[in-house]
């Protein structure tokens, strides 16, 4: 009897751990030396791949995708990615289009402008139809908001318009990469809508709330994000190597022994986001942490 109880309790523990097992989200697209999209998805390390970036849109500008050395959108060269995207999705990986970035030309002037951008995204990257789809016929899983400039207005409108397209069949996932100081300066209002499924908070390049040997400031920020943002899951966003960001890199040993044990008990814990695939290739970070996430 005691043996059966011990077996049962160990099984319950395993189930609890499995239930809170997280995934890894990776950014791909800003370095031609990071391998192809299909190679990225074939590593088995990632649950989400964010294609970075649609860096120009809004305010009447012709939208333009920038995937660095991977393909030339001006000659329709990125349509070849359709096969890779479908291959990733066949493995159960969600492939998102990231809009914005640290060095883009994007701006929303009004709710009407937000609606126009949403229509463009639906027709050109999601379930709609257009003769000029930059990535070809593949239907992406959703839109990732990495808004680090431009305006603080109308991102909530864009989220609402995009989420309305979920009623037309395939769900449109919404994700975001805010900075860890709370609330985020640009998309704080949008995140309060409750329309975002996954939020990967950037705990780097932000000394007040990132890890710096001690865990207190990161843990306090984590608790605020998980308590106040109505998202399905919150992810810990990190640089994949010391060179991937100005600050905020967490050595593997510190992440697995100190940081993850402190945040994984949260019901909203979703896993770890890494910037980016190129730096992950150099460091092997995702392979080193995967079994602990």
- Cβ atoms of residues 225 and 234 within 8 Å: yes
- pLDDT, one tens digit per residue, over 41-94 is 999 999 999 999 999 999 999 999 999 999 999 999 999 999 999 999 999 999
- Give the integer Cα–Cα distance in Å for 92 and 83: 15
- Cβ atoms of residues 237 and 210 within 8 Å: no
- pLDDT, one tens digit per residue, over 213-241 is 899 999 999 999 999 999 999 999 999 99
Instruction: Output the CA–CA distances (angstroms, integers) from residue 171 to 163, 191, 197, 200, 278, in the order listed.
Output: 8, 18, 11, 19, 29
Q: Among candidates 40, 39, 38, 8, which has minimal Cα distance to 274?
A: 40
* 3-state DSSP assignment of residue 52: strand
Query: Three-state SS across 6-20?
Result: HHHHHHHHHHHHHHC
Burial class (CB in 10 A: 0-12, 13-18, 19+), 167: exposed
- pLDDT, one tens digit per residue, over 166-193 is 999 899 999 999 999 999 999 999 999 9
Which residue among 137, 148, 219, 228 is the active-site one?
Answer: 148
pLDDT-based confidence at residue 21 (cuts at 50, 70, 90): confident
- Give the integer Cα–Cα distance in Å for 38 and 64: 23
- pLDDT, one tens digit per residue, over 239-285 is 999 999 999 999 999 999 999 999 999 999 999 999 999 999 999 99
Q: Does the pLDDT of residue 13 top 70, yes or no?
A: no
- Give the integer Cα–Cα distance in Å for 150 and 10: 52
- Cβ atoms of residues 143 and 162 within 8 Å: yes
**Positive or negative CA dihedral for 119, 121, 126, 131?**
positive
Instruction: Give the DSSP H or E segment for 50.
Output: strand 48-57
Q: Residue 228 catalytic?
A: no
The mean per-residue pLDDT over the stretch 24-30 comes to: 98
pLDDT-based confidence at residue 17 (cuts at 50, 70, 90): very low
pLDDT at 169: 87
pLDDT at 5: 41
pTM (global) more than 0.75: yes
pLDDT at 1: 53
- The answer, yes or no, to whether the previous bond of 136 is cis (omega within 30 of 0) is no
Average pLDDT, the chain: 94
Q: Does the pLDDT of residue 19 top 80, yes or no?
A: no
């Amino acid at each position: 009897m005691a043996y059966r109880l011990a077996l049962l309790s160990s099984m319950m523990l395993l189930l609890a751990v499995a239930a809170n097992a997280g995934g890894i989200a990776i950014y791909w697209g800003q370095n031609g030396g990071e391998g192809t999209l299909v190679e990225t998805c074939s590593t088995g390390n990632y649950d989400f791949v964010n294609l970075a970036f649609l860096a120009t849109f809004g305010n009447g500008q012709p939208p333009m995708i920038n995937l660095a050395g991977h393909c030339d959108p001006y000659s329709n060269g990125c349509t070849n990615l359709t096969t890779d995207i479908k291959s990733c999705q066949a493995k159960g990986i969600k492939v998102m289009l990231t809009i914005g970035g640290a060095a883009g030309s994007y701006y929303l002037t009004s709710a009407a402008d937000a609606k126009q951008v949403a229509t463009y995204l639906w027709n050109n990257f999601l379930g709609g139809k257009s003769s000029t789809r930059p990535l070809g016929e593949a239907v992406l899983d959703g839109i990732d908001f990495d808004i680090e400039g431009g305006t603080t207005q109308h991102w909530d409108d864009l989220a609402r318009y995009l989420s309305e397209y979920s009623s037309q069949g395939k769900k449109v996932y919404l994700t975001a990469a805010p900075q860890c100081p709370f609330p985020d300066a640009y998309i704080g209002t949008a995140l309060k809508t409750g329309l975002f499924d996954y939020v990967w908070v950037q705990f780097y390049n932000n000394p007040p709330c990132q890890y710096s040997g001690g865990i207190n400031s990161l843990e306090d920020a984590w608790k605020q994000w998980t308590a106040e943002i109505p998202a399905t899951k919150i992810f810990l966003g990190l640089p994949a190597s010391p060179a991937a960001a100005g600050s905020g890199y967490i050595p593997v040993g510190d992440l697995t022994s100190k940081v993850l044990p402190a945040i994984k008990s949260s019901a909203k814990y979703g896993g770890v986001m890494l910037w980016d695939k190129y730096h992950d290739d150099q460091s092997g970070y995702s392979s080193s942490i995967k079994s602990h996430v």
